[in-house]
Structure formats: structure tokens, C-alpha cells
Amino acid sequence: MTTEVLIGRSRGRDFLDGARVGLPVVVASMPFAVLFGALAVENGFTVFEATLMSALVFGGASQMVGLELFGKNIAPWLVVLAIFAVNFRHVLYSATIGRRLAHWPIAHQAVAYFLLTDPQFAETEWRAESGRPASFVWYLGMGATIYVPWVIESGLGAMFGKLIPDTHVLGIDFLLPIYFLGMVMSFRKRPFWLPIVLASGIASILAYKLIGSPWHVPVGAIVGVTLGAFLLPAGKKTPTT
């Protein structure tokens, strides 16, 4: 048996390992992909545009936010800014995960950063911590397993979403707040989560009433993030004090 065959086999196993880690994410994200497609068409997208957005942006919450603003006659740059704001958390993922990927070829890193989602980040960090550094093939196995169904399901949702007869009775119009609440709750172990959530929430409601949409998003975000910077976790005092 040649070395090449051995490498080929271990690569195949790495890919399948990654794919297996990606499977639960496929199940969990399926309703959101279909929902995105259906809502996109409801907000004036074509099936092509809905599928294109999933294929190019590949970020559930930010795509939903984009839709939320699309239907409301808001300047295009503000829609893009809101999507940027929602995706801004990836900057931290990217900075953290950079140490794990730095030895890969540049082209592999470029692909890897495109596929960098919340679960991809968490699983890669966990794998590296447990002493089995993530290979590109493993990473691709997980990323592609999440990406391909995400794009296909968005397209299907866009094509067949209008078959849903009464969106109010089915609760479609209020599914997004429930989804966002779930994401807010998932970060509750972070330092000062409650004061940050309260400050941002109140600021957002005030901005919504006083200035109007979509300014509640940046105003609420800036208030919470500033408070977060102000309230340092214990033991992390600035070096000068």
C-alpha cells in the first residue's frame, strides 16, 4: 500500500468526520432556510435572488435582517450596514480561529473564512482544544455539509413558500422575534449579559419610537456594546490600574 493511498483514506475519513459534526446543524437550520426563502419572496425577492443571497451571504440572522429592512423602502446602504452589524460578531471568531488556520495555504484559508459560521467556529475551537487540530478537509467536510443544504432549502422555501395560505394563523410573521430571542438567550453565559440586554433593548425601543426604523438597530447595539466595554469582567482590569 502506497503512502498516497493512506493519505487519501485519512482525508476521506477527515471529510466524513467533519460532515458528521455538521449534520445536527443541517437539521437545526433547515426551518430557517425554508423560512428565509418563503419570507424573501413575500418581501419582493425573486426565487433567484433568495437563493443567491443564501449562496453568497450564508448567514441566517443577517439574511433575515436584510429581508426585514428590504420591504420597508429603506436606503440600500442602510440595509447593507444592518447586515454588516449583525455579522460583526464574526470579526471575533475570525481573530480567534486565525491561530488554528494560519498554517494552511492562503486559498484554503480564504475558503475557510467564507464558511465561518457560529457552529463552525465552536466546533473548530473545540476540536483544536481537544488536541486534534482541524485539517482543511475536516473543516470543509463540516462547512460544505451545512452550506449545500442551506442554499437548496432556501431555494425550495422561495419556490413553495407562497403555498402557505394564512401567514398570520401559522405565525410566520412572528417567528423571527422568537428566533432572535433564542439567539439572545444562547449568549446568556457571557459576562454582564442581562444589563447589556436590558440597556440595548430599552435603547432600541426608545430609538424605534423617537427616530424610527431602522435606527433602533445601530442605536440599541451601540448602547449595549459601549456598556459591555465599560463593565469589565472581574480580574480583567486594565493594565494601568
Partner 1 sequence: MSTNVWIIVAAAVVTYLTRIGGHLVLSRFDKLHPRVEAALNAVPAAVLISLLAPSLVVAGPAEIAALVVAGVVSLRFGPLTMFLTGAAVLIALRQIIG
Q: Which of residues 49-68 bind partner 1 (CB under 8 A)?
A: 49, 52-53, 56-59, 61-62, 65-66, 68
The nearer residue to partner 1, 20 or 99, going by C-beta atoms, is: 99
Q: Which is nearer to partner 1, 6 or 185 (CB)?
A: 185
Nearest approach, Cβ of 141 to partner 1 (angstroms)? 19
The residue among 45, 102, 94, 96 whose CA lies nearest residue 69 is: 45
For 157-188, the DSSP string reads: HHHHGGG---TTTTTGGGHHHHHHHHHHHHTT
Which residues neighbour 63 within 8 Å (Cβ) at sequence distance 6 or greater? 36, 53, 54, 57, 83
Binding partner 1 (rule: CB under 8 A), the pick from 8, 31, 71, 133 is 31
Q: Per CB under 8 A, which of residues 118..147 are in contact with partner 1?
A: none
Burial class (CB in 10 A: 0-12, 13-18, 19+), 158: buried
Shortest distance, position 3 Cβ to partner 1, whole Å: 32
- Exposure string over 25-41, b if 16+ CB within 10 A, otherwise e: bbeebeebbbbbbbbbb
Q: Please, which residue, 42 or 109, has the CB nearer to partner 1? A: 109
**Helix (H) or strand (E) segment spanning residue 32:** helix 3-42
Q: Distance between CA atoms of 208 and 163, rounded to whole angstroms?
A: 33
Binding partner 1 (rule: CB under 8 A), the pick from 7, 12, 23, 114 is 114
Residue (12 or 24) nearer to partner 1, CB: 24
CB of 210 to partner 1, least distance (A): 12
d(CA 39, CA 57): 16
Q: Cα(54)–Cα(45) distance, rounded to whole angstroms?
A: 12
149 binds partner 1 (CB under 8 A): no
Which residue's C-alpha cell is 475557510?
Answer: 112
CB of 5 to partner 1, least distance (A): 34
Nearer to partner 1, 6 or 232 (CB): 232
The number of residues that bind partner 1 (CB under 8 A) is 101
Among 6, 28, 122, 148, binds partner 1 (CB under 8 A): 28
Site string for partner 1, 73-102 (x = CB under 8 A): ---x--xx--xxxxxxxxxxxxxxxxx-xx
Closer CB to partner 1, 6 or 211, in the complex:
211
Query: Which parts of 163-222 interact with partner 1 (CB under 8 A)?
Result: 168-171, 174-188, 190-193, 196-197, 199-205, 208-209, 213, 216-221
Decide: is 36 part of the binding site for partner 1 (CB under 8 A): no
How far apart (Å, rounded) are the C-alpha atoms in residues 189 and 149? 30
